[in-house]
Amino acid sequence: MNDDDFELDLSELSSAEDFLDYFAIQYEPAVVYVNRLHILQRFHDYLAQIEEMPDSVQAKWALHADLLRAAYQDFVQSDAATEKVFRVFHMHEPKSVSIPLSDLMEQVSHAPRV
């Protein structure tokens, strides 16, 4: 297999199960069913942390397999709410905004004065 074949193979994978099968990682379908997007996002995040990819295709394949295995294991041992993979989990509580009634009433031309 060469780099082009590896890249083509990766581009054709579309589900968490496809990735796990391609990299020969055993998995529990129930874990993947509940966490598929989280696993793939964590895998992507782990890949983004790699400063330099190995040169050989075999080393790239092994690195991808190790990172995907780690991403999967994160959700075997934990859950999505704890792992907080997506940005929405990092958002703070909504802020309260106060608008005086008089300001709102000025927006309506036929409203009585307050």
Per-residue confidence (pLDDT) for residue 113, from 0 to 100:
67
So what's the pLDDT on residue 49?
94
- Cα distances (Å, whole numbers) of residue 104 to 97, 100, 108, 109: 13, 7, 7, 10
Residue spans per domain, the chain? 3-106
pLDDT average per 10 residues of sequence, the chain (114 residues)? 90 96 96 91 93 93 97 84 57 68 74 65
The confidence score (pLDDT) of residue 90 equals 46
> What's the 3-state SS for 32-45?
HHHHHHHHHHHHHH
Question: What's the angle, vertex CA 25, arms to CA 23 and CA 28, rounded to 5?
Answer: 140
Predicted TM-score (pTM) of this structure: 0.71
